[in-house]
Amino acid sequence: MKNAILVSADKHWRTVMEGTLLARGWQVASVETLVEGERPDPAEVQALIIDAASVARGALSSWLAEGAPKLEIPVVIAPGLTDAERFADALEGQMRTVEKEASPVVVRFWGVRGSIPTPGPATSFYGGNTSCVEVEADGETIILDAGSGIRPLGLSLMARAAGKPLNLHLIISHTHWDHIQGLPFFIPAYIPTNHLRVVVYSEVRHDLAHVLAMQMDSAYFPVAMKDLPSHPEVEEAGDHFNCGPVEVEGFFSNHPGLCAGYKLQTSAGTIVYVSDNELNFEGQAIHLAAETADHMHERFIATLKGARVLIHDAQYTRAEYKSKLGWGHSAFEDTVQLAGESGVEHLVLFHHDPLRSDAQLNQLVRDARAIVAEKGWTMRVDAAREGMEIPVYPKGHSAAPR
């Protein structure tokens, strides 16, 4: 694990730089000022990163020159936030300008927030759009949920298509608003040459076409679902269906009103999406009348076993969950535990609480990684962030975000 200390009097700079480095696998601690006489232990810290705008060079020079033990780690003067990504890449020695090996599967995050969109300065790093994940796999474009994040995804797809027709699979976990509210604003649906297939696991939704049409009724929206020029094909599928060569398995998650998770079997391995799921461990599974909590836990371990990437609900902490019992979401600690027991390679914490700030999410990632280290697992943990990409290579390659 790479460890760094950030020094800045600017709270926003610390939050963004922390998140940028955490996403690359660093462990990061932050302080506001340099403390006289203190030196980081080189056995534990690999870099001291200084915010050039908030720490005066004279203060740094004085700190380095004082009579304390010699500093044995590099001091890195960091730029402003507009160059944060490039700086982090340079720190890694992997500049974005270097051509990377193409991967058959890429996971992209367009909406990562739960319940309601939360734009604003406190969420600008991880993002405030609701659930939407793009999976490019084996020649297919698969979209998981249509929260508000599907709007920027649509703009990106149109730009990448450069006028060519799009063939898209949109898989819906359930029809709570934060998972369908972006569909009326999905630009590819308004292009007649595009093909949009909208599919749901039939056991969680028997009238998908009607529900989607309702939110585009004239009382709520000026364009009716039936008038979309692409004429979306709405399908209620069994627990196994295909998106081209990608095999998809639908399964029940534990959430009010019924909700599905999806397991995608690609040429690079398994990707699992469980956006809304309450991991309760005693008695009955709260929202699944025919299943005990123990059986649900065993079922999830079997389903998730060996997944290359797991995207899973982590809306609460255990302390918060005590007052949210039955609301249909998991504590991140329980999500980490389940993923670790299942042998997941890369866990992405998802469906962030609307009240969770960027700084709090940075701390949540640290806490999750501490659990993994304590258990001795090799699993990677990240928090989903809008714009994050995870290339998934065939077994033997890394599935690190970029």
What pLDDT is stored for residue 81 in this prediction? 74
In a domain, 397, yes or no: no
What pLDDT is stored for residue 95 in this prediction? 35
**Same domain, yes or no: 186 and 248:** yes
**Same domain, yes or no: 77 and 123:** no
Residue 36, SS3 per DSSP: coil
pLDDT tops 80 at residue 218: yes
- Numbers of helices and strands, H then E, in the chain: 9, 18
In a domain, 245, yes or no: yes
In a domain, 14, yes or no: yes
**Same domain, yes or no: 82 and 222:** no
**Same domain, yes or no: 160 and 239:** yes
In a domain, 149, yes or no: yes
In a domain, 400, yes or no: no
R_g over Cα of the chain: 22
**Same domain, yes or no: 48 and 148:** no
CB 340 within 8 A of CB 297: no
Q: Which tokens in the block code for residue 357?
A: 């700030």
What pLDDT is stored for residue 194 in this prediction? 98
CA dihedral 31, 36, 37, 39 (to 10 degrees): 30
Domains contained in the chain, number? 2
- pLDDT tens readout for residues 29-45: 788 877 666 667 666 67
What pLDDT is stored for residue 115 in this prediction? 96
pLDDT tops 90 at residue 61: no
Residue with tokens 């639908």: 250
In a domain, 160, yes or no: yes
49: which strand partners?
6, 76
**Same domain, yes or no: 245 and 216:** yes
Domain boundary among 65, 92, 119: 92
CB 204 within 8 A of CB 260: yes
Q: Is 38 exposed, middle or buried (0-12, 13-18, 19+ CB in 10 A)?
A: exposed
* CB crowding 349-376: b at 16 or more within 10 Å, else e: bbbbbeebbbbbbbebbeebbebbeeee
**Same domain, yes or no: 151 and 47:** no
Residue 2, SS3 per DSSP: strand
**Same domain, yes or no: 249 and 321:** yes
What pLDDT is stored for residue 25 in this prediction? 79
**Same domain, yes or no: 183 and 82:** no
Domain boundary among 40, 64, 92: 92
Q: For position 137, which CATH number holds?
A: 3.60.15.10
Measured in degrees and rounded to the nearest 5, phi and psi for residue 371 equal -60, -45
Domain boundary among 35, 65, 92: 92
In a domain, 398, yes or no: no
Task: Give me the domain span that covers residue 380.
Answer: 105-392
What pLDDT is stored for residue 99 in this prediction? 40
How do strand 105-111 and strand 132-137 relate by DSSP bridges? antiparallel
**Same domain, yes or no: 166 and 310:** yes
pLDDT tops 60 at residue 97: no
Q: Which of 95, 94, 97, 123 is nearest to 111 (CA)?
A: 123
**Same domain, yes or no: 202 and 111:** yes
Query: Count of CB atoms within 10 A of residue 12's CB?
Result: 15
**Same domain, yes or no: 84 and 112:** no
In a domain, 402, yes or no: no
Q: For position 14, which CATH number holds?
A: 3.40.50
- pLDDT tens readout for residues 336-387: 999 999 999 999 999 999 999 999 999 999 999 999 999 999 999 999 999 9
| Spatial distance between the Cα atoms of 343 and 80, rounded to a whole number of angstroms | 39
Question: Long-range contacts for 32-37 (Cβ within 8 Å, ≥24 apart)?
Answer: 32/7, 32/8, 33/7, 33/9, 33/59, 34/7, 34/59, 34/60, 34/63, 36/63, 36/66, 36/68, 37/66, 37/68
